[in-house]
Amino acid sequence: MEDTLYEERKTPGGFLIKVRLAKMTYVVFTNDGPEVPRGSKSKSIVVPVPRVAFLGSDFNLSHFRLSELSFVNVKAGKLVIPYQHGTSNEIKTIFVATGSASDILPVLVQHFTTKEDLVKECETSEIFHYLIVDEDLPRTDMVTLKIRFPAMNILVIKKKISSLETKVEKQTSSDNKVVDFSKVRATDVITNSNLNQYSQNPVFLARIHLRNMELDKVKQLLLDFKLNGQDVAFIRTFLEVMIRNEFNKPELKASREKLVALNEAFRLSTLILDSQIEEFEKELAEKKFSREIAAMIYALLSKEQDESREIERELILWEWKLLTKKLMIS
């Protein structure tokens, strides 16, 4: 009986939102029938209700029914999630892409003051789609959370920034910015873990391989995994810490050139994985790739082309491969 309970909401824009409470999934109905969200890989009309967690004592989410179904406005296909942070009374917002044309959509919001409470909830219930933290969270805690829950998108709020927009949107404006992990140091991450537990986690594997100075294995991650921008950001964080070599370790000094090349290859890979066409073609036009970097990029382009299901993208990748191959033999 409980499995068939639904909550319905008619929106001002004329959409009908039907939420299946037991599964916490929803369907958007338009005048033409059920909606398939734009960009949906499964092409399913059934969408999980986004689960968003805030971690930190400075957040004020009193306007939400925490842990219960809520409905928020949608602007240009993005959930508008309001919150307050710190001592300011200003209402700030986070934008989360949905692919829906509806003007209102459901969301589940929870607030945790300690990392331990968050971890307990994730282990006993479902993992959150988005975790919002403030910059006071210890850096090692942040990296550990990402390693433990790799599917969770983590956004960091700085107290001087009034609003955020998630990277998955691939869009920024003058007053909506993402603060990601460029400042996160990963000098101490899980020293006594079972490797098999994280064998499908490229971020964790990168940390292990770098710890052992197995740079070829780090390079192979580009080909063995479907990395996203956040994965690459973490891996580059590890690389940049090693390149800086604050403690002047001789093994890092000897491998600095290889680390720099690897970091550059991962930087360029982000442009490919995120389909930043103009930016990557500018890089190609400047012809600043070394042969080693060009070889890594060529291998990634070949993999992406083989996996592509869109003719237009496949043609773009094919053209990029030709240009990159020229850099390999020049």
* Pairing status of strand 69-75 against strand 51-55: unpaired
Q: What is the pLDDT of residue 103?
A: 93
d(CA 320, CA 135): 38
Residue 292 corresponds to which amino acid? E
Residue 320 corresponds to which amino acid? W
Ramachandran angles phi, psi of 223, nearest 5°: -100, -25
Asked whether 279 and 237 are in contact (CB, 8 A), the reply is: no
d(CA 7, CA 58): 32
d(CA 41, CA 23): 20
CA atoms within 13 A on the CB side of 54: 23
Q: What is the pLDDT of residue 117?
A: 93
Q: For the beta carbon of residue 166, count every other beta carbon within 10 angstroms.
A: 21
Q: Whole-model pTM? A: 0.53
Could you tell me the residue ranges of all domains in the chain? 43-181, 185-330
Residue 8 three-state SS: strand
At CB < 8 A and 24+ separation, what contacts does 29-34 make? 30/101
Q: What is the pLDDT of residue 2?
A: 53
Q: Could you identify the residue written with the tokens 């930016």? A: 279
CA atoms within 13 A on the CB side of 154: 27
d(CA 297, CA 275): 14
Asked whether 267 and 222 are in contact (CB, 8 A), the reply is: no
Q: What is the pLDDT of residue 33?
A: 93
The candidate with the shortest Cα–Cα distance to 112, out of 121, 104, 124, 103, is 121
Look up residue 140 and give its two tokens: 């090692």
Q: What is the pLDDT of residue 121?
A: 92
Q: For the beta carbon of residue 191, count every other beta carbon within 10 angstroms.
A: 6
Asked whether 202 and 227 are in contact (CB, 8 A), the reply is: yes
Tens of pLDDT, residue by residue, the chain (330 residues) = 455 688 999 998 999 999 999 899 999 999 999 999 988 778 899 999 999 999 998 898 887 888 889 999 998 888 988 888 887 777 788 888 898 999 999 999 999 999 999 999 998 888 899 999 987 888 788 888 888 888 888 888 876 543 333 333 333 333 333 334 333 333 333 333 334 344 568 888 888 889 889 999 899 999 888 888 878 888 998 899 899 988 899 999 999 999 999 999 999 999 999 889 999 999 998 878 888 899 999 999 998 988 888 888 888 999 999 999 988 886
Strand partners, 276: none
Radius of gyration of the chain (CA): 22
d(CA 117, CA 96): 24
CA atoms within 13 A on the CB side of 197: 7
Strand partners, 130: 52, 153
Residue 316 three-state SS: helix
Look up residue 29 and give its two tokens: 């109905």
Residue 44 corresponds to which amino acid? S
d(CA 74, CA 220): 40
Residue 63 corresponds to which amino acid? H
